A and B are shown apart, each in its own frame.
Chain A
Amino acid sequence: MKILKYIFIVVAFTFVREEGKAQCSPTDQLKVCIPKLAGGFNFLKSYEINGRDGRLEKVEYSYPFAKGTQYMVNLCSSEGEANGLVVTLYDSSRKQLATSVVNGQHVSAIVFTCQSTGIYYITYTFDNSTQYCGGSALGFKR
């Protein structure tokens, strides 16, 4: 009987812990992020950021940027604003162009004026994140 009681407590505790852990739903964050693209930017792509509770160090996407076009990449974290999320942009040779942490401060969007056509890499990483979850929208204007 004692054993059964022990099993019941362990199982119940496990369920409570799982319930307490928020499920990552990047789609919800995308709904926030797309309308937040600055005026004049046309929506192109939305990117889900799911770090699988910290098991993934980074989430990466790529897109061809065209010369003479401005691109905006914004961040929407499940922890509010861009909290815990970092976006870094790399060119086609994988040279880092910029990151959204500037002098220790996080910015919630980056704008890149492209002068060299090619495939660019948009990498999302986590910094002091608790939920490892968010969304991001890519927009463009000429």
Chain B
Amino acid sequence: MLWLVSCGSDKKDEAEAFLDELEEGVDAPAISEETINDILQQIPAPLEISMLMRESGADYDRTILSDPDNVSNYNTTFKRAINLGIYGTDLIYTNIFGKNQEGLSYMKSVKELADDLNIGQFFNLKLVGRLATNNDNLDSLMLITTQNFNAINKYLQENRRANLSILFLVGGWMEAVHINCKMSMDNPEVGSLAERIGEQKIILENIMLLMSFYAETDPNIKELHEDMKKLQEAYGNIQITYTYAEPTTEVVDGVLVIKDNSTSTVHITQDNVKEIDSVINTIRNKLTS
């Protein structure tokens, strides 16, 4: 409170509004917390989507990432939470390509946004900074980053701030799809990149369901939900077909190895990728402005 008194009136209004927003939160949706947490689990970690990019032979491209210096523009809880997810994916992307020094800029922005959301306790900048100085530590760096993000999600869900968890996960997911689209357009011969984009149709359905629970009570989520309906339309052109077959199993060195004999096929063209990219760009520009 002393800090509030000592600030100028604009800063005071901004800070008070933020504190009010935090305290009031949003009305809980009619759906149970358990159901929400169940669906939240089904949003994939950006690490997994991003790993494919390095393996596909695609080059690192810094220009497609969000600017880490924009952090001061994000002055609402909504923007902080969604951009925390976006920066989180960018951080993982830099990690995967071994661009540790650039990763540190993202780590600082992530820490700043997390502090603003009162969840900064999950980041140890000193430790990450130490690991980032050497590429041999890449596995440890990714492990710590993944553990931190998992801890944030758990904390938000346990503290009845699942709406922030959704924004954080959606931001991270959308950035991963955005990067994947750019890489696919640059490397159209790598079918696995386009296929991975198409597979996200399953995830998008869950995201839309989650957001619909909060759209009635949170105007920011409502607006994002409306924007994402256009993404859902773009995904409407993509088909995923399945063929089921019994799996086979064997025990190897005390581990049960299961061979999946079912298959799924994603029907996606480069025109579909371009359309998805275009819709994501429009939404992302709004979120990162």
Chain A interface (Cβ < 8 Å from any Cβ of B): 34, 38, 42-46, 61-64, 66-69, 72, 89, 91, 93, 95, 97-98, 100, 102, 107-119, 140, 142
Contacts and interface: CB of A to CB of B under 8 A. Distances in A.
A93 B242 CA distance: 11
A56 to B, nearest CB: 13
Interface residues of B, number: 43
Given A42-B51, A66-B48, A142-B52, A112 B42 contact: no
Given A46-B150, A107-B251, A113 B259 contact: yes
B147 A43 contact: yes
A95 B195 CA distance: 24
Given A64-B202, A117-B240, A110 B255 contact: yes
A4 B139 CA distance: 62
Contact of B203 (A64, A89, A91, A100): A64
B254 A44 contact: no
B256 A67 contact: no
Given A43-B146, A46-B150, A97-B260, A117 B55 contact: no
Contacts of B51: 42, 140, 142
12 contacts: A38-B255, A44-B48, A67-B195, A98-B258, A102-B249, A102-B251, A111-B258, A113-B257, A114-B260, A115-B263, A116-B243, A140-B48
Given A62-B41, A114-B260, A67 B251 contact: no
Q: Which 3 A-B pairs have the closest CB atoms?
A: A116-B262, A116-B264, A115-B260
Nearest to B196: A66
Given A44-B48, A107-B251, A34 B143 contact: yes
